[in-house]
Structure formats: structure tokens, C-alpha cells
Amino acid sequence: MAISTPEHVLRITPTGPPRGTILFVPPLFEEANRTHRTLVLAMRALAAEGFTTLLPDLPGQNESLVPLEQVDLASWQSALAETSTAIGGPLIIASLRGGALIDHQAKAAAWWRLAPVGGASLVRTLMRARVAADREAGVTSSLDSLQAEAATAPLLLAGNRLSPTMIAQLATAEAQPVTPLRTVALGSGADDIAGTPLWLRAEPGEDTAMAKAIAADIAAWSTTCGIN
Amino acid sequence: MTEPDTVDATLRALLADVLGLGEERAAALTEDSGLFGALPEFDSMAVATVLTEMEDRLGILIDDDEIDGEIFETYGNLLAFSLRKVTD
């Protein structure tokens, strides 16, 4: 589905001419809110290092006027591809979690992914939240009954009304190969970033040190890829 | 990953991550510490996140019909359930 509504883009720019642009692809659904503040802190740090940084709203999310149930992973992929082609100069795509499922159609000089997650795991958690909320409300539902329901009609999962197409695409979605790509996880190894998995957090938090580590890792990857 | 101490440590780290408890509060959890209904952060979304993370980090699969309210009543119940699952 082609979606032409222009979406809001958060843009933080350097004071001088930019070295390049970092286009952040946020985590999906509630995980985007939980990581937003830390992500924006990383954007500020990258802007201080001379990068233009962008964080677009996905259609159907945040300030978007598009109803969420009208979008799916394919439309998010093309929206990001469209955003990327409008950017001049060297571009790095930086995706977090489920963002890695929709970043591969973009045109970029390099990709960077933090803790990519499969779509099946995301949809399982959303459905479980619905089952738990139903149970509190005295309604009996199960992953099976929700899956059956999702085959034919939009399903409300933790505040997100998702179309049958979206749920079907999420169920099998994996991060796709792109080059050059650097994938980092949380941890203490060479290809890890120290920090907390804020995307799991029940209440939004902030991790200043992790924001700095994200910015430093992306800046170093940019240099490795010849973007100075 | 089937050692009881490992399961206990994994579970505490997981609850610290999801509920934002911090290391100290997570380490201070006892068998009788209340979870769902006792910790304000522990809502239905947190329950869902904990279940998915338990599957990932403990290498187990959890079916719908295995989950009842009791599992999340106390830390001891959640630990007992996890230990049963990893030795299954």
C-alpha cells in the first residue's frame, strides 16, 4: 500500500556542515516509547560529533494521521525506503529491535542494528499482554483464539489495532541481510554495548551512558565505512 | 542453564530488566516477595514481557494453559515454575 502522507521527522543537526546522516529506525509499538528518550540522547551526541540525525514517525505511529490498522510491515519498509531516497549525502541506517525488520529496502551506505528481534517474539508478547489483560477483566482468551481471530479481522493488542496482514507479516518477519552491516547486542563483549534493555521496561526509563555508547559505536562504524 | 543457581540469577536479572528494580531490589527478592498485584510496575504487559524473556533466556517454551495467577503471586512461585520447566 502506498502511503503518501508526510510523517513527522525529529531532526537534530550539527552546527557545521554534516559528515553524514544517521536515520534511526525505532523499535516497534510500545518498545518505541520505552527507548525514545535514550534514542534522542544518542541523536544529540551524534549531532555533536557532526552528524545530521533523523528519527521519523512510522505511518500509524506517534503523530501520524494514518490509522495503525491500515499499515503493515511492507508499508513501513516502503515508507523508510522513500525517506532514505530523499536524503542527500552519505547515509547510515541505525535500527533498534523490531526496526531491523523494516530497514532493508532503504538506500544507504551502511546499516547498524542494536539487539534485532524476530517479529514472532514481538507478536507473542503483544498477544500475551492481551490474554493477561483479558484474564484480569474476567474474559477467557488464549494465543490460539487470538490467532484465529487475527486471521480475519483487526485485533487490538496492548493498545495497537493491528490488521490481519500486519500480524501475518510479523509472525514470520526476520531481519534481512544488508551490507555493510554491524550488529551489536547488549553485553560486555567486543561487539556489545553496555546498558540496560530499556525496551523491556514496564515504565519508560533513561540510560545516559548507553546513549553515549550507542553514539560512539555508530560514529566508529561510520569511520570504518569510510564516512568521515 | 539447568543449574538452580543459574535459573535463580537469570530470573532476578530478567525481573530487574523488565520492572526496572535495580540490582539491589532484585537481589533482595525472597521466596515470599509478592510480584503481580504487589509491585506496581508488574502490569499485564510486564507479565507478557517476562514470559517471552523467560522463554528466550531459559530456553523453554511456555504454553497458555500452564499459566495461572499463582505463578506470578510470589517470587518463590515463579522460581519453582521456572525450575520445573528447565528440568522438563
C-alpha cell at A206: 533513561
Diameter of chain B measured on Cα atoms: 33
- Domain-wise residue ranges, chain A: 9-118+176-224, 119-172
**Residue B13 vs residues A57, A64, A144: alpha-carbon distances, Å:** 32, 36, 30
pLDDT digits (tens, 9 = 90+) for B37-62: 899 889 889 999 999 999 999 999 99
* Among A8-12, A55-59, B3-7, the least confident range: B3-7
A21-56 confidence digits (pLDDT tens): 999 999 999 999 999 999 999 999 999 999 999 999
Fold designation for A9-118+176-224: Rossmann fold (3.40.50)
How does residue A5 score in pLDDT terms, banded at 50, 70 and 90?
low
Closest Cα of chain A to B70: distance in Å? 13
Sign of CA dihedral A193, A206, A50, A110: positive
Q: Report the pLDDT value the prediction gives residue A54, as an integer from 0 to 100.
A: 98
All three cell numbers of A161: 489495532
SS3 category, B72:
helix
Q: Do A98 and A31 meet the contact criterion of CB atoms below 8 Å apart?
A: yes
Nearest-Cα residue of chain A relative to residue B55: A121
Confidence of residue A106 (pLDDT cuts 50, 70, 90): very high
Residue B2 clears pLDDT 60, i.e. is over it: no
Angle between helices A119-136 and A164-172 (to 10 degrees): 130
Using the Cβ of A40 and the Cβ atoms of chain B, whether some distance falls under 8 Å is answered with no
DSSP strand pairing (A155-157 vs A91-96): unpaired
How many alpha carbons lie under 13 Å from residue A130 in its C-beta half-sphere?
Answer: 23
The verdict on a CB contact (< 8 Å) between A129 and B17 is no
Predicted local distance difference test score (pLDDT) of residue B75: 97
Q: What pLDDT is attached to residue A4?
A: 55
Q: Hey, is the C-beta of B60 within 8 angstroms of any chain A C-beta?
A: no
For residue A11, the SS3 value is strand
Q: Of residues A4 and A62, which shows the higher confidence score?
A: A62
Mean of all residue pLDDT scores within chain A? 95
Percent of chain A exceeding pLDDT 90 equals 91
Q: Starting at the earlier edge strand, list the strands of the sheet with A110-114.
A: A9-12, A51-56, A20-25, A91-96, A110-114, A181-186, A192-193
Residue A1 pLDDT class (50, 70, 90 cuts): very low
Q: Cβ of A196 under 8 Å from any chain B Cβ?
A: yes
B46 and A202: CB-CB below 8 Å?
yes
For A21, the grid coordinates are 546522516
Which residue in A31, A121, A124, A125 has the most chain B C-beta atoms within 10 A of its own C-beta, making it the best mutation to test that interface? A125
CB burial readout A122-141, b (16+ within 10 A) else e: bbbbbbbbbbbbbbeeeeeb
What whole-number distance in Å separates Cα of residue A56 and Cα of residue A116?
Answer: 18
State mean pLDDT over A148-157: 96
> Are the CB atoms for A118 and A174 separated by under 8 Å?
yes
Select from A125, A131, A203 the Cβ nearest to the Cβ of B64.
A131
Model pLDDT for residues A200-216, shown as the tens digit of each residue: 998 888 999 999 999 99
Quick check: A144 pLDDT over 60?
yes
Helical segments of A19-64, H only: 30-48
Backbone angles phi, psi at B65, to 5 degrees: -75, -5
Q: Is B86 touching A (CB cutoff 8 A)?
A: no
**Cβ of B42 under 8 Å from any chain A Cβ?**
yes
For A126, A190, B72, the CA distances from B31, given in Å and listed in that order, are 28, 37, 12
Would the pLDDT of A2 be above 60?
no
Q: How confident is the model at residue A72 (pLDDT cuts 50, 70, 90)?
A: very high
